[in-house]
Amino acid sequence: MKKASPSLLPELSQRDPIPAKVGIFGLGYVGLTTAACLIENGISVEGYEVSPQKQQLLKKGICPISEPGVQALIEKAVREGRFCVKDFPDGNKLPDLILICVGTPSTSNGSTDLRHVKKVFRQLNQLSAENPSFGTELIIRSTIPPGTLDMLRKLCPRLFVRVPVAFYPEFLREGTALEDFHSPPQSIIGSIPSLPKPKKIFSLLASFTFQTPVTHVNAVTAESLKFACNAYHAVKVSFANEIGRWITSLGGDPLEVMELFCRDTKLNTSSKYLRPGNPFGGSCLLKDTRSMLQLGKKRGINMPMIEHCLTSNQDHFKFIDAAIRSHKPRIVTILGIAFKKDSDDIRESPSVRLLRMLTAKKRCRVIGHDFMVKKETAIGVNQLLQNQLFQIPNFSLEESIKKALEGTDLVLIMHNDLRYSQAVAKLPVPVLNVVSWQGFQSCG
């Protein structure tokens, strides 16, 4: 199984034949758009739908949802006999592949209601028990929370050892669903590693005119990714709207500002700042975020999302602190004291904040090391801050990594520096590497 690097589709010789008929559970926005695109690609579709009203309309070739381009494709396919609708698959004429696109709405407490997905799986489990030749590959396209595939495996253990079951998250947007289907950003297939591997879905993907990077990952990765994407889109919209309200209150033009903002594809609309790791700190982000919030408040503008970035950052310190606490160390070594690698700037440095948390109430002794932070070269505000740093009881800064590691109970790596990872490679104590997110596996 590939680990988060896009793989090409399997070579032709390794592929299963392209499925001639695909079944789809749930003929709503996702199910019908998918049906339309499969039909367009010469594949026959059998749809299974619980709503009698939808069934009636579809049998007449009338599409019950409004989505550009879908009506014409469905109508033509019904006329040509390449699309039929029924309650449930016929055990004697099973499709090679079934896509599950039933709804997964919110429950009253905000969790995902998996009732429809579970019902489909119970029914398919029963169908497979009654059919010794049942070999249909099952692919979930409904959005499911992390852990769902595993939960379904426990619900239908025999089904999962018999046929491949995978999650293939859908990234289409209503209104441009056909267009999105034909040019998806990427295709992710998630499955449980120890169980039968999906094959037919790869052949189906290879049959499309579009060629998208396909990555086969662990089920939990695919399930989490879909939620991360939707949350990120929600964050982007809220961010843009908060910035819009703030700029308007200041007499500026938010559209112009955000247009220019998006032109910066190096830092703004890029993969920069999108790796889990250090809390943010340094001389600018905290200072300017606080100032921005103050400016807004004076004008009656609330920016709860941006404001909560500060709370979120505090929570990240608590998360790292809890991970350290779980090892009950008396001596902690922090490698990297400046706010980032190759800098001597310790203004609002996350490392300094952490070492203050650790040394408070004599909890731990902290030994620090940094290649750039040196008493003799500090100047200006950093000289002042260093003086305060060296007055912290139970903290010392060592000049050599070797000395900083002597007698330590735990190492915290705060800078992405090969010299640090090499130095701790054979150390018999716990190492928490904040930059590469190592040592946090059991924390949540």
Ligand X SMILES: NC(=O)c1ccc[n+]([C@@H]2O[C@H](COP(=O)([O-])OP(=O)(O)OC[C@H]3O[C@@H](n4cnc5c(N)ncnc54)[C@H](O)[C@@H]3O)[C@@H](O)[C@H]2O)c1
Which CB, 115 or 263, lies closer to ligand X?
115
Which CB, 54 or 369, lies closer to ligand X?
54
CB 348 within 8 A of CB 286: yes
Residues 396 to 435 in contact with ligand X, rule: CB under 6 A:
none
The distance of closest approach from Cβ of residue 180 to ligand X in the complex, given in angstroms and rounded to an integer, is 9
Q: Single out the segment in contact with ligand X by CB under 6 A; choices: 28-36, 157-165, 349-357, 388-396.
A: 28-36
49 binds ligand X (CB under 6 A): yes
Q: Single out the segment in contact with ligand X by CB under 6 A; choices: 14-22, 44-52, 259-267, 425-433.
A: 44-52
Residues 323 to 362 in contact with ligand X, rule: CB under 6 A:
none
When CB distances to ligand X are compared, the closest residue is: 28
223 binds ligand X (CB under 6 A): no
256 binds ligand X (CB under 6 A): no
Using CB under 6 A, which of 82, 116, 216, 369 touches ligand X?
Answer: 116
Q: Which residues are catalytic?
A: 284
Q: Single out the segment in contact with ligand X by CB under 6 A; choices: 72-80, 170-178, 251-259, 388-396.
A: 170-178
The distance of closest approach from Cβ of residue 171 to ligand X in the complex, given in angstroms and rounded to an integer, is 7
Which CB, 39 or 373, lies closer to ligand X?
39
30 binds ligand X (CB under 6 A): yes
> Which is nearest to 163 in space by CA: 127, 198, 121, 215?
198
Number of residues that bind ligand X (CB under 6 A): 24
Which CB, 141 or 415, lies closer to ligand X?
141
121 binds ligand X (CB under 6 A): no
Using CB under 6 A, which of 34, 55, 136, 142 touches ligand X?
Answer: 142
101 binds ligand X (CB under 6 A): yes
Q: Single out the segment in contact with ligand X by CB under 6 A; choices: 101-109, 160-168, 364-372, 436-444.
A: 101-109
174 binds ligand X (CB under 6 A): yes
Edge to edge, the sheet with strand 214-218 lists 83-86, 44-48, 21-25, 97-100, 137-140, 165-167, 187-191, 214-218
Q: Single out the segment in contact with ligand X by CB under 6 A; choices: 114-122, 216-224, 285-293, 355-363.
A: 114-122
48 binds ligand X (CB under 6 A): yes
Q: Mark 188-219 as b/e (b = at least 16 C-beta within 10 Å).
A: bbbbbeebeebbbbbbbbbbbeeebebbbbbb
Which CB, 210 or 390, lies closer to ligand X?
210
Q: Determine the length of the chain.
A: 444
Residue 320 to residues 11, 43, 317, 407, Cα–Cα distance (Å): 44, 51, 5, 21
170 binds ligand X (CB under 6 A): yes
190 binds ligand X (CB under 6 A): no
The distance of closest approach from Cβ of residue 109 to ligand X in the complex, given in angstroms and rounded to an integer, is 17
27 binds ligand X (CB under 6 A): yes
Owner of token pair 């200072």: 287
Contacts of 298 (CB under 8 A, 6+ apart): none
172 binds ligand X (CB under 6 A): yes
Which residues are at the interface with ligand X (CB under 6 A)? Answer: 25-31, 48-51, 54, 101-104, 116, 119-120, 142-143, 170, 172, 174
